[in-house]
Structure 1
Amino acid sequence: MVDETADFAALIRELKDRSGLSYGVLAKRLHMSTSTLHRYCNGDAVPTEYAPVERFARLCKATPDELVEAHRRWILADGARQRERKSAANAANATAATTATATATATTAAATPPVPPPEATTAVPEATLAPGPTPAPTPPPAVEPEPEPESALPVTATAPRNRRRTTLFAAAAVAVVLAATALVPHFMSGNGGGDRKQEAGSVTSTGRGTPSSSASASASAKSTSSPSASTSPSGSASPSGSATAKSGASASTGAKSGGAADAAAVPLTVTTRPYAWESPCGQTYLVDRDAAKVPPPPTEQDAPSWVSALGAVSADSQYLELTVQGTGQDTVVLQSLNVRVVDSGAPPAWNVYEMGYIGVGCGGGVPTHSFDIGLDSIRPAVTPKSGQTGLPYKVSESEPEVLYITAAAASHDVRWYLELAWSSGTRKGVLRIDDQGKPFRTSGMSGRPQYGYSLDTSEWVPHQAD
């Protein structure tokens, strides 16, 4: 973690020094404490979200390439922090499991009654087992052997009963130990929040891939030998199989279908920011509310909760930020990125609200790996922006890629998602990229009333686009 955090801190210190702005000025504009900003620049902490890093870099006049590099270094530093936390959690789980096992074993041993030694049945003198009357000096001609007294029978039957009882106690002890061992890791890991607080409105997607031939043979053998194995299509691996993991308090990922084995076979993840802004005032939203009932424009990091609370829809265009990263050392090739339209209709008759503020200038460059999608087309496609190269790209754990997608709609209300085809060695597959399990939604806004926010009156006022 030290190297990744140090590299990240070195970059933001360089941006800060070059800007000529003090810690106090930057902290005030970023709405954070000066001490927190000091910790970021000194490498003592890493932001849990990328949004403040991006705002910091833009305030320091970072170039598009520097913005991409800042994002890359933040991803690596944050990933190192997650690995460190997982290692600590695993160590705590192992310690707790060992303690629980030892406690259960000690409790079982204390509850098990002592077993009499085997000598107890063999060392008893014969005279005590069957005292009987003293025999006559001259035995009668027909004297039958005298039966053993009943008082001696419980002594000889003690050992078998003790052995049965001991067996039962031993079986119960094994069950207790196994239950304790299984439950403790569950309780320890059930924090409900994952390793870190994931940015609101972000989605981490994983998909299923085509397993290698040996893995396929193993899966086939298991399916044949198990009479209860599922034969439904959703349980079978295929080259085009895909799955999406919804966002949560964890950046935890998981496949919808195919199980843990399929998810583990996918060598990459895609983290999506569906409400990123290309510039501070470059985004508009359709909202089914009067201007008096709409709160002021949010900051970029608060846009997802603002959109969710109002049921807003991205208007005219939607700007997506996709961070693609490998999960191992193997290189993964991003083969193609395709658009899938779920539904298309007329735009809703709602009001349009422009982010930013009236009279305040906005700016922003075009970062590398930027793509356009024309959602009004009969067959929308992902096309590189002018002068930029398109897919295929290569990614790994240490070399992520950030893709910027601008999806435009002028005359339709479109619900859509993306499919990312990948390959790595003999494996290949497709990742579905959407908005927390739902399609993205982008709508045209032609002819709709438009509003801008005035800092002078602190209210939304009718505003016409330039």
Structure 2
Amino acid sequence: MTRSRCARRERPQPFAVSGVITLLFLASVYVWTSVLSPEGRIAAVTSIGVRDHCASGWVVPDAGDAPIPMAGRPSGSVLGSGGTVTVTVRGLTGGAIVLDQPVVEVVSRRTALPGVFLPVPCDPAPVSGVLTVDLDEPTAVLGPDGAPADFPYRVTGTAPDRFVIRPVSTTDDVEWRLRVPWRSGVGAGELVVDDDGTPLRTTATSAARPFCVEQPDSARWVSCGIG
């Protein structure tokens, strides 16, 4: 069984598992949560953010035109369409574990969140090899450009593997989870990827008024009529 050519495979920072995940450092990511499979054979860390991509950002409540510092994830924000959900998975027993095609579970759907859209600065080298989830589809599929990804995928030993997922929606504010079936020589189960026990959330940015990145320092978001 071969590794997926579609998955984004990066050199992950090490993390330790002792009943629960105790440590993970990911540069430029503002939220991270962890989950351990009930069977105790595979674990995952989920990070939510915007990395190396200028087509996304955050939607926050509209509090007027006061500048907003660009320091970590803004308070009260929801990830905008095109952001990234990075899932780092690791086997816990040393044996090979096979991940089957993940299932995207849409928990709720509302119209796009109003407020203010805070775009992230563009990076000249955007992330490649990203798996897309089109949340506007009646049945969302995880894969490149909406096509199914190349699963099954083998996680070997206890070395972490990383998948970068880009959820997109043009119209809605969507809560969703990723359910990842897994199997090994001694068992099988399901790993549920979410935001620390609550659904992941992605909103279209069409109902939010845009702010701009302040130039030249890129240290704040400002009203586009200011600066």
Question: 2: CA distance between counterparts of 1:388 and 1:335?
Answer: 11
Structure 1 residues 150-205: Cα deviation after superposition (integer angstroms, max 9, x where no partner): xxxxxxxxxxxxxxxxxxxxxxxxxxxxxxxxxxxxxxxxxxxx855877621111
Q: 1:271 and 2:212 equivalent?
A: no
Q: Which residue of 2 aligns with 1:284?
A: 57
Partner in structure 2 of residue 319 of structure 1: 84
TM normalised by structure 2 equals 0.80
* Number of aligned residue pairs: 213
Q: Tell whether the 8 Å contact from 1:334 to 1:391 is kept in structure 2 after alignment.
A: yes
Where does 1:306-455 land on structure 2 (aligned, <5 Å)?
306=74, 310-356=75-121, 361-368=122-129, 370-385=130-145, 390-455=150-215
Residues 283/434 of structure 1: CA separation in 2 closer, same or farther (3 Å cut): same
Identity %: 19
Q: Which has the higher contact order (CA 8 A, sep 6+)?
A: 2
User: Does the Cα contact within 8 Å between 2:134 and 2:169 map onto a contact in 1?
Assistant: yes
Higher strand share: 2
The structure that has the greater radius of gyration is 1
Label 1:408 to 1:198 Cα distance change in 2 as closer, same or farther (>3 A). Answer: same
Instruction: Give distance in 2, aligned partners of 1:405 and 1:435.
Output: 14
Which AA in structure 2 matches 1:206?
Answer: L
- CA distance in structure 2 between the partners assigned to 1:195 and 1:267 by the alignment: 16
8 Å contact 2:78–2:202 — kept in the other structure? yes
Gaps of 5+ in 2: 1-7
Tell me the distance in 2 between the aligned counterparts of 1:198 and 1:69: 13
- The 2-side partners of 1:413 and 1:401 are apart by 29
State whether structure 2 residue 32 is matched by structure 1 residue 202.
yes
State the Cα RMSD in Å: 3.1
1:287 Cα deviation from its structure 2 partner: 1.1
Q: Which residue of 2 aligns with 1:295?
A: 68
Give the equivalent residue in structure 2 for 1:155: none
What do residues 347-376 of structure 1 show as CA deviations (whole Å, max 9, x unaligned)? 1221211122xxxx52224444x3111101
Q: Tell me the equivalent position of 1:236.
A: none
| Greater fraction of residues in helix | 1
Alpha-carbon offset, residue 334 of structure 1: 0.4
Question: What are the superposed Cα offsets for residues 287-337 of structure 1, whole Å, 9 maximum, x if unpaired?
Answer: 112353452223xxx32xx3xxx2111122331111111112211000121
Q: List alignment gaps of at least 5 residues for structure 1.
A: 1-66, 84-193, 209-264
How far apart, in 2, do the equivalents of 1:403 and 1:459 lie? 29
Displacement after TM superposition at 1:388 (Å): 9.7
In structure 2, distance between residues paired with 1:195 and 1:446? 38
TM-score between the two structures when normalised by the length of structure 1: 0.41
- Counterpart Cα distance in 1 of 2:67 and 2:182: 42
Q: Deviations over 1:222-281 (max 9, x none)?
A: xxxxxxxxxxxxxxxxxxxxxxxxxxxxxxxxxxxxxxxxxxx33111111022x23164
The one-letter amino acid of 1:269's match is: A
Mark the CA change 1:386 to 1:425 in structure 2 (over 3 Å): closer, same or farther.
Answer: same
